[in-house]
Amino acid sequence: MKPWKMFVVCAVFAVVAGAYAEETVTVKPADTGAALVNPGMGWTLHFYSNIPTNYGSKLEPSDTLDDWPGLSTVYLRVPWAFLEPEEGKFNWALLDTPAQRWIDKGKRIALRLTCSENWMKFATPEWVKRAGAKGTFYKFGEGPDPEGGAWDPYFDDPVFLEKLEAFLAAAAGRYDGNPDVEFIDIGTYGLWGEGHTFMSSKQDDIETVKRHIDLHVKHFNNTQLCISDDVAGHDKPGRRFPIMDYALSKGVTLRDDSIMVQPPPRSWYHAEMAEEFWPRLPVVLEHEHYGSSKARNAWDKDLFLRAVEEYHASFMSIHWWPREELNDNRGVVDKINQRLGYRLQPVEVSWPRTVVIGEPFIVQWKWANKGVAPCYGGGFPALTFKDEAGGIVAVLSDETLNVRDLAVGPPGSPPVTEHQTEFTAGLVAPTTKPGTYGVFVSVGRRDGTPLIALPLKNDDGRRRYRLGEIALVGSE
């Protein structure tokens, strides 16, 4: 082709491309208000709450509580003695059976394995005591007593720690790094696994707590670990405590097991402590047993929502017979679902109405996180073009925007991040035919695999949401 002819062709193409670029589609997707089930956030059902019959025992095997909006995790909290009744012989079915009911529905599990319970004699297996571990009987609320009905090991006893480490190693072999496990509590120290002994054997010691943290970090180094705020003192307000600083330095996050145990103004003590954790790690909240909280006039629906806000919580418990709690609190549950964890929304998306196959084009979008907590696991927005048959024509992932970085704000006023990226559809291959295609938005892996539910309509069933259409044309 002669140079002047090439110049004319290029000039014509530039005019055509410029005309396409001037026609822009802009959409402002509305929030549907739906409760979202996403990784790293949601409601946690106490299927076992120390006592195995609380609170999943009334649920049929087929009942996974699908009517509780936003339920993402089933929480299994049980004594070590039930899982290793004889040394080296394990009863993992205690955990795996209920776990699979929810895993089959795409949900996850969380665990706490405890060594001290006031309602049973040996939460730490009796064979540990027979092996030579030292400890003490105690009376609940009073302290060590040979006539007490429950036995605690000395939590720094070398025989106890040896046997405990073997148990934790076995548990880690099954559950550490398991993609279906959301988090694991450090629950081997103190009454109910809450990290205190002031109501039991009275042996609180920061160095011993550190040893239990270290044991868990050693074996569960691929799963998020949590520790109760009570290791710092169940009713000691404040932001910084040496033991919590130590936990944070090991990547262990905060859970507060004491929401609305006491009536106002003592509804909780450690929202300030959470400020050290939530910018980096998910905070877990557990409210008091709902019936017990009501009985002592500690339950307050407004405070329920306020706790989520003040702690920037990613998880909230269901700590009672679940449908009774839901029926009594449906309104506030719905409000919490608008804020708990993260809630990602494309506030505005703009793209050219027509683009040339194989040529770059610009997408401008505005994103917001309407929840109280960051999306700690991160993710990347993507646009997917699909034909009328639902076939995927193009997947365009924006690796320059990680939703982990979206800031959080007060209710109704989330900070908005404006971003621009360049995409190209059909460059080299696969074969891309001219035509009009549906435009879908998603958030997930760098490769465009959707992972995160968005509060948008027109879901394709794979967490991609239709925004509109785009025309792809050939270059000639």
> What length is written for the chain?
476
DSSP labels, 378-421: --EEEEEEE-TT--EEEEEE-TT--GGG----STT---EEEEEE
Spatial separation of the C-alpha atoms in residues 268 and 262, rounded to whole Å: 8
Residue 357 amino acid letter: I
The whole-number pLDDT of residue 475 equals: 82
Instruction: Please report the pLDDT score of residue 234 as a whole number.
Output: 86
State the fold for domain 42-337. TIM Barrel (3.20.20)
Domain ranges across the chain: 16-34+343-473, 42-337
Tell me the C-alpha to C-alpha distance, in Å, between residue 346 and each of 25, 90, 104, 354.
Answer: 14, 48, 30, 21
Instruction: Provide, for the chain, the percentages of residues in helix, strand and coil under a 3-state DSSP scheme, each rounded to the nearest 5.
Output: 25, 30, 45
Write out the CATH class of domain 16-34+343-473. Answer: mainly beta
* The two structure tokens encoding residue 468: 């509109």
Half-sphere exposure of 323 (CA within 13 A, CB side): 9
Q: Do domains 16-34+343-473 and 42-337 have the same CATH topology?
A: no
- Is the full-model pTM beyond 0.85? yes
Q: Quick one: residue 125, left, alpha or beta (phi over 0 = left, psi -120 to 50 = alpha)?
A: beta
**Tens of pLDDT, residue by residue, the chain (476 residues):** 443 333 333 333 333 444 444 699 999 999 999 999 999 999 999 999 999 999 999 999 999 999 999 999 999 999 999 999 999 999 999 999 999 999 999 999 999 999 999 999 999 999 999 999 999 999 999 999 999 999 999 999 999 999 999 999 999 999 999 999 999 999 999 999 999 999 999 999 999 999 999 999 999 999 999 999 999 998 889 999 999 999 999 999 999 999 999 999 999 999 999 999 999 999 999 999 999 999 999 999 999 999 999 999 999 999 999 999 999 999 999 999 999 999 999 999 999 999 999 999 999 999 999 999 999 999 999 999 999 999 999 999 999 999 999 999 999 999 999 999 999 999 999 999 999 999 999 999 999 999 999 999 999 999 999 999 999 999 86
Element (H, E) at 81: helix 80-83
Give the position of tokens 């002047």: 4
Please tell me what DSSP assigns to residue 236: -
Question: What confidence score (pLDDT) does residue 22 get?
Answer: 62
pLDDT for residue 10: 34
